Structures are given as structure tokens and as C-alpha cells.
Structure 1
Amino acid sequence: MPTVVTLGDSVPAGTACGCTPFPALYAAEVHAHDVNLAIPGSTASDVRGNLSSESSELASASEVVIMTGANDMAAVFGQPARYSTVAAAVEDDVVATVAAIERVHRMPVVLVGYWNVMVDGQVAVSKYGADGVRDAARATDLVNDALSAAATRSGAVFVPTGAAFHGDGGEDDPTGLLAPDGDHPNAAGHAAIAAMLYARVPHI
């Protein structure tokens, strides 16, 4: 049976959901074994730095899924002058991570984008107001651009998730797909991410 190894932050780890997170749902769809190594709170540099301790899992992987970068940007949220620098560092860390994975052995690597790197939906409206919601959208766009560029540079596949939460036009309220914290997906949100992966990634 093939194995899907997932690296990243609290979203793939399933924080605040109390449900089966998207890596396990996706692995089941492609009839693969799920090895979820995502760590809540981790940054792109953390994912890169942890690879040496994960070499045995990566050696048996048929595919690696990575979702990282939100915590990097969250650390500077509200300081827009720093966003571009942080996004560039995320891109470089992810490119280096993919290169290190491919030194173990060549396999498909999937980079998963974010619908929002901060809280979203009605929680965001209440917490940030209109200006903060727009600022979060800008920060999210920069992280997603960094992940897309990293995919282009490294030969990985980039899968955006914005349409799953905000609709094709980007105007839908994602509250129904989020946990009460407004930050992490609920069961329906994880199912939506898994469906995006299944639809856009060549099956192993």
C-alpha cells in the first residue's frame, strides 16, 4: 500500500476539529496509508529543520503533502511592511524542504495553500473589522503566492484551497466550514480540503 506523509502546522494536524483531518481523508481516497507528522504552531523553517528526524518516514513515502507558512505570517500580522520579506522566506524554506525530501528519494510533493492564514468568517469580522479582514486577505495572498512560486521552482504541485472556503468568486462566507475559533477547519472544512487534493493531484 502506498504511503502519504504529511508535514506542516495545526491545520493538517487537525487542531480544534475533533474530527478526522484532511490528510487521513485524502489518504483514504487514494487507498494509501496516512502518516501525519504535522505539528501545531510550526513554521516553514520548522518543517525544514525537522526533516532529519523524519527520514525513516520519508524513505517509505509514496507522496508528501506540505501545508506551512501561516504561522510565519501570523507572527507579523498587523505589520504589513514585513509581509513580503516573510513570504520570501517561506518560499525559500519550502523550496529547500522539497529539495531535501527529493534527496531521500524522488516522489510527488504537494504544497497546500490557505483560504486564510489568520482567522476567517464571522470570527474575523468581529475580531478585526473590515480593515483587518482586508489585511488578512493580503497576507494570505502573499503566502499562497510564495507556495505557488515554491512549487514552480521545485517541481511540486500547488493546490489552492481558497475556492473550497470562499467559493469560486471569493465572496462566500466560510464560517460553516470553520471550527468555533474561526482559525481551523471543522469536519466539513477538512472534507473540503481533502476533496480539493483528490481532484487536483495525480493519484498515486
Structure 2
Amino acid sequence: MIRRVLALAGVAALSGCAVAQAPAPVSAALTVVTFGDSVAAGTDCDCTPFPDLYAGRLGARSLNLAQPGSTAQDVSDEMDSEEGTDAVRGANVVLLMAGANDLADAFDAGTGAHGYARAADGVQREVTAAITRVRELRGPDCEVLVLGYWNVVEDGDVAKADYDDDRVADAASATRYADDALRRAAAAGGAAYLDTSAAFKGADGQANPTGLLAEDGDHPNARGQAAIAAAVYEVLPDPPQ
């Protein structure tokens, strides 16, 4: 496995226009399995979520087990379930996206840096355990990609309306804690890591992501889901069969 930590500034152009990709012919030899939260599940999108878009671009089967509200521990527990274990055993690619809800809870509680650090420690522990479980079940013949977040709570115009400047700064801090934890977990498990912030905020992190977000300002809309799928494809364009 080659460890890759990518900012993927090149996908930032998708914030201007997300171009739909025609799906490749379906290959029974490839299966993409996803564990994660509402972003991966496609909540508030009324569209095809990024794991299915990515699988379609590969011509692969998609088994999306992401659930709205899932924490990092929920994802780790799901992987240990009979359904999760069976899914991993047949996977060529495993996508993991969890941790936003852990840090969002700390943000909502107003716990500050101490609370963010405690929540991030839990995220790192559980995601590392999930990667380890994939290796136990599937060995080296499976790509594992851990996805980070552009924001663990509201962003864009909605955040500007709902949060004052201090809360906007707190949201950015909570997101850094989450992403740092996910990056460390990926490194510990020999998985790839994808920083999705460039897809939503540009290479310099300053672009307004509103056009890629649903009306709640929290979840990706169809363009946002397409942007994540394109970023995933840049990391894993040719997974092993």
C-alpha cells in the first residue's frame, strides 16, 4: 500500500462547475464499500451520494452503509457487525467518512479546545480501529480511503447568518481537530487520506462553499457530492481487482 496524503487543490475548480461523468460499464470484479455519516449517505441532497458516483465512474458495485448521525464509534461498530464484516470481505475499496458528528457535538456543547481534543482522540482511536479491521478481514488487497471535512458544522452563507465571528472561528477549530485526527488515523493504518476542503473552499481555503451545499448549509448538494466523488477518483482511479 502507498500512503498518500492529498490536499487535491486541482479539484477546487469543481466549486465553479461540477461536470457529471458517464458511468463506466459495471464490473462484477470491483466493489466499493462505504462506512460513514450523513455526508456519505447523501442526506438533504435528493441526489446520488459521492460513494455511488465514484463507484459508477469505476463501473463498480457500490455498497453504501453510511448512516445519518453516525459517529466514529458507530462506524467502527458497524464494521464489526455481520453485514459490515461480510461487506468488507468482498470489498476492493473501503471509504471511511466519520468524525464530524463527534466534533459537532463538542461544538454545540461549547467545550472549546479541550472538548475538541477529547472528541478528536476518540475519532482517531475508532477510525484507526476501523482501518485495522479492514486489514484483518481483507489484507493488503483492498484500498482504504479516509475522508476529511471542509467543515463539521454549517458553512457558507448559512453559517454567516447563524454564527457570530467567534462561532465561525470555533467551527474552523473543531474542523481542524477532526481532520487532524482523521489524518493521523489514516497514517497509522497505512490508508490514504483525502482533504475535501479544497473541493469546497479552493486551494487557499478562502472560497465561499455555498454553491456546493444544501439549504441547511451543512450537507453537500448534488454539486458538492459530485465534487467529492471527483476528488476520490483522483486518489483512487484504478483500484485493485
Structure 2 length-normalised TM: 0.83
Is the radius of gyration larger for structure 1 or structure 2?
A: 2
Residue 36 of structure 2 contacts residue 75 of structure 2 at CA under 8 Å; is this kept in 1? yes
Please give the alpha-carbon distance, in whole angstroms, between the structure 1 residues aligned to 2:116 and 2:101.
Answer: 12
Partner of 1:173: 208
1:21-63, Cα deviation, whole Å (9 max, x unpaired): 1001111112211100001001001111112221111111111
The alignment status of 1:73 with 2:103, answered yes or no, reads yes
Partner of 1:184: 219
1:117-137, Cα deviation, whole Å (9 max, x unpaired): 011001111111211111101
Q: Which secondary structure state, in structure 1, belongs to the residue aligned with residue 164 of structure 2?
A: helix
Gaps of 5+ in 2: 1-27
Q: Aligned AA for 1:9?
A: D
Paired-residue identity, %:
49
Structure 1's consecutive aligned runs of 4 or more residues displaced over 2 angstroms after TM superposition are none
Please give the alpha-carbon distance, in whole angstroms, between the structure 1 residues aligned to 2:100 and 2:215.
Answer: 18
Please give the alpha-carbon distance, in whole angstroms, between the structure 2 residues aligned to 1:31 and 1:157.
Answer: 21
Q: Which secondary structure state, in structure 2, belongs to the residue aligned with residue 50 of structure 1?
A: helix
Q: How far 1:201 moved relative to its partner?
A: 2.4
Q: Where do 1:1-204 residues align within 5 Å?
A: 1=28, 2-53=30-81, 54-77=84-107, 78-80=110-112, 81-106=114-139, 107-204=142-239
Residue 157 of structure 1 contacts residue 201 of structure 1 at CA under 8 Å; is this kept in 2? no
Residue 58 of structure 2 contacts residue 237 of structure 2 at CA under 8 Å; is this kept in 1? no
Structure with the bigger RCO (C-alpha within 8 Å, sep 6+) is 2
1:158-203, Cα deviation, whole Å (9 max, x unpaired): 0110001011111100000000000100000000000111112252
Please give the alpha-carbon distance, in whole angstroms, between the structure 2 residues aligned to 1:96 and 1:202.
Answer: 26
Please give the alpha-carbon distance, in whole angstroms, between the structure 2 residues aligned to 1:201 and 1:87.
Answer: 26
Please give the alpha-carbon distance, in whole angstroms, between the structure 2 residues aligned to 1:113 and 1:38.
Answer: 15
What CA RMSD, in Å, does the superposition of the two structures yield over aligned residues?
Answer: 0.9
Residue 32 of structure 2 contacts residue 95 of structure 2 at CA under 8 Å; is this kept in 1? yes
Please give the alpha-carbon distance, in whole angstroms, between the structure 2 residues aligned to 1:50 and 1:198.
Answer: 25
Q: Aligned AA for 2:161?
A: S
